Amino acid sequence: MLQHSDDHSLDDREPQQQPRLADLLKGPEALSRLFDALPASAVITRASDGTVLAVNQALQEVTGYTPSQVLGRSVLELKWWPDPKARNRFFEELNRKGKIRNYPTQIPDAYGRLRDVVLAADLVDLTGERCIVTIALDITPILNAQRALAAQEEQQRLVFQEASDPIFIADDQGNLVDVNPAGLALLGYSRDEIIGRDFAAFVPPEDLEREPLVLKRLSPGAEAKIFQRRLRRKDGSEVTVEINAWRLSDGRIAGIFRDLTQRAALEAQMREAQKLQAIGRLAGGIAHDFNNLLTVIISSTQLLMDSLEEGPQKQDAREILNAANRAATLTRQLLAFSRRQAVHPETLDPNEVLRNTEKLLRRVIGEEIELSLELKSSWLIYIDPGQLDQVIMNLVVNARDAMPRGGRLTLSTSDVSVSAVHLAHRSGIPEGDYVLIALKDTGVGMSPDILEHIFEPFFTTKPVGQGTGLGLATVYGIVAQNGGHIRVESQPGKGSTFYLYLPRTQPQAEQPETAPQEKGEREQLAAGGATILVVEDDPGVRGIVKTVLQRGGYRILAFGSPREALETLKREHPEVDLLVSDVVMPGIRGPELHREIARLYPDLPVLYLSGYPGDPTSGEALLPPDAPFIGKPFHPDTLAKTVRSILERRPKRKN
């Protein structure tokens, strides 16, 4: 074994010992030159103490050590064996065999970095001394390259395995040699079932007859080919994919699928949404115009009935009023579909709403249908209570009609957080927290053709005279108006499930109740004597409002143009106690008109009248939620009572 001298500093030494190399080799000068020209590092050390006697040029090139830094120093002093166990094994084997070949280890270079080397060593007698001739082949660059290649392959494998798009690799004949998990999921096969099979086996035969497989015609180095194919899954169903394929330099074929089936479904959903939006705009406009007409019909008929004694004429007027009220119900449903009806949302517990309506729902569905409530939601929603009741009732009636021979209806609530993945793969519902209300029936179900149209106004599968076709359209409109989404699953003979996603809201702080104001002179104004400014662009509605309020003893200033009303007020400044205004009018809308008038008449109260309180094109709300509002069509009594109530709360007018 080597004996090691005491540690010394590694300061440069005088190279007086280097000339001993020729003496040590005892051979031709060419042998000395060969030693120095070796591409691998070569070192001669004294066996007894490990002193370095000679080194070649390659040692400096590989390790950075100059001859003057190492000659005369012990290998222990140089710390060339950082691992004592590896050093002991090396010298034990060398002493036993006299030589060592292909011994892997690590040695530090002059900069403290470990170099991977393979050692070969021999015990020899040189100039009468037992010496060790060691050659160290530096394999650090090779191992670094291998490590980098392994890391790159691992990264590529990770991308291949985790990619959301299906990826395949085939040999030069088109036989699959690798498919990632997304590809296996798309086709429905396990890895063992798919590897080794010809790609053409997954293409319908009729497609291959019409167009031979493109993969086998790909050329190395050529641009990738993009083409569409139908592929047959394991269960026999088919999927249309876009394939981006190219031939690798080794002749293999690589490709990426994109499922066009899902994209086509999303495009169909977008078209359906756009169609329903267009229908909604049309329905909202029609309902607005009809509401103006119905306002005149209902109010005029009511005033006529008030002037008639009981008899055939009053009965005829009553029939007119009933028919007009039924027409008003239809327009309200149209407005619900178009998301333009007036609403007063509140923070609600959906579980409590369903519990409170359970008894009513049981009466609606009858004894042959079993009703079950599964209420698991712990979140709140923000919606008009009447709207939520209407949605639930419409869906329950729809489910009842789908189970003429009885069945089971399950209403459930749960909390759902929709993620980005859900967004991409579940009907385009935006990310966020939702309360999910599901209604599941065991009825006759619906075919795909019917599912495409169920939310369209006036679409119905019921016999003529048994349905308006507005029930589900109303549900769709209300859910959309409240920022929610609706999804349906149904198959003929297997029932239907409606999923309502309503946005989660946070509990609202309770507002302190305001103290009732004094009455006094305000009661006199409410009973008559007040001056009311009426601004309504529809002549019929303006006339009926004027008539009703004049019968209540009020003085009326009526205008068909907002600008005309403003100019008159600025010019004449008459006394005004209340503004009654339409919402949507040419030039100036109701809320803007009220702001302009409030500059002349501070604290002037307002009552809005409209077929819908929203923008006629976008459906966006134009009124604040707490604005006094009467929806058209209205009854004369409703108008009179609302005006009286507002005037009773108005502060005393300053003279």
- Sequence-ordered list of residues with C-beta below 8 angstroms from that of 547, at least 6 positions apart, any chain: 299, 303
- Give φ, ψ of 257 to 5 degrees: -95, 150
Q: Which run of H or E residues covers position 87?
A: helix 84-97
* Joined tokens for residue 31: 């042998």
Percentage of the chain surpassing pLDDT 70? 77
Across 255-269, average pLDDT: 74
Cα separation of 266 and 609, whole Å?
A: 40
Instruction: Transcribe 151-205 into DSSP letters.
Output: HHHHHHHHHHHH-SS-EEEE-TTSBEEEE-HHHHHHHT--HHHHTTSBGGGGS-H
Residue-wise pLDDT for 287-298, tens only, equals: 667 777 777 788
* pLDDT for position 2: 42
Across 265-276, average pLDDT: 64
Judged against a pLDDT cut of 50, whether residue 525 lies above it is answered with no
Which pTM was predicted?
0.42
Instruction: Transcribe 372-429 into DSSP letters.
Output: EEEE----EEEE-HHHHHHHHHHHHHHHHHT-TT-EEEEEEEEEEEE-HHHHHHTTTP
Looking only at the bridges linking them, the beta strands covering 578-582 and 606-610 are parallel
Residue-wise pLDDT for 9-56, tens only, equals: 444 444 445 445 545 545 556 667 777 778 889 999 998 888 999 999
Count CA atoms within 13 Å of residue 261 on its CB side: 14
* pLDDT for position 278: 66
Q: Say which range, 20-34, 263-277, 405-419, has the weakest mean pLDDT.
A: 20-34
Place of tokens 């001669």: 44
- ∠ CA 639-643-649, nearest 5°, is 150
Judged against a pLDDT cut of 80, whether residue 211 lies above it is answered with no
- Smallest CA-to-CA distance from 173 within 203, 198, 142 is with 198
Residue-wise pLDDT for 472-492, tens only, equals: 877 887 888 788 888 889 888
* pLDDT for position 132: 92
Judged against a pLDDT cut of 70, whether residue 582 lies above it is answered with yes
For residues 617 and 281, the answer to whether their CB atoms sit within 8 Å is: yes
* pLDDT for position 603: 86
Beta bridge partners of 237: none
Under the banding of pLDDT at 50, 70 and 90, the label for residue 336 is: low
Strand, coil or helix: what is 327? helix
- Sequence-ordered list of residues with C-beta below 8 angstroms from that of 645, at least 6 positions apart, any chain: 526
- ∠ CA 208-213-218, nearest 5°, is 170
Cα separation of 10 and 63, whole Å?
A: 15
- Alpha helices, DSSP H only, in 249-349? 260-306, 312-337
Residue 379 Cα distances to 334, 351, 435, angstroms: 30, 9, 7
Across 47-72, average pLDDT: 89
Q: Which domains does the chain have, with CATH numbers?
A: 15-143 (3.30.450.20), 163-251 (3.30.450.20), 266-337 (1.10.287), 346-505 (3.30.565.10), 521-649 (3.40.50.2300)
Count CA atoms within 13 Å of residue 100 on its CB side: 22
Cα separation of 26 and 384, whole Å?
A: 107
Across 536-556, average pLDDT: 90
- Alpha helices, DSSP H only, in 13-83? 20-25, 29-37, 57-63, 67-70
Under the banding of pLDDT at 50, 70 and 90, the label for residue 285 is: low
* pLDDT for position 333: 57
Judged against a pLDDT cut of 80, whether residue 231 lies above it is answered with yes
* pLDDT for position 563: 92
Under the banding of pLDDT at 50, 70 and 90, the label for residue 524 is: very low
The overall average pLDDT reported for the chain is: 79
Judged against a pLDDT cut of 90, whether residue 635 lies above it is answered with no
Cα separation of 168 and 309, whole Å?
A: 86
Strand, coil or helix: what is 585? coil
Across 514-527, average pLDDT: 41
Across 407-413, average pLDDT: 93
Under the banding of pLDDT at 50, 70 and 90, the label for residue 326 is: confident
Count CA atoms within 13 Å of residue 455 on its CB side: 26
For residues 41 and 467, the model is more confident at 41
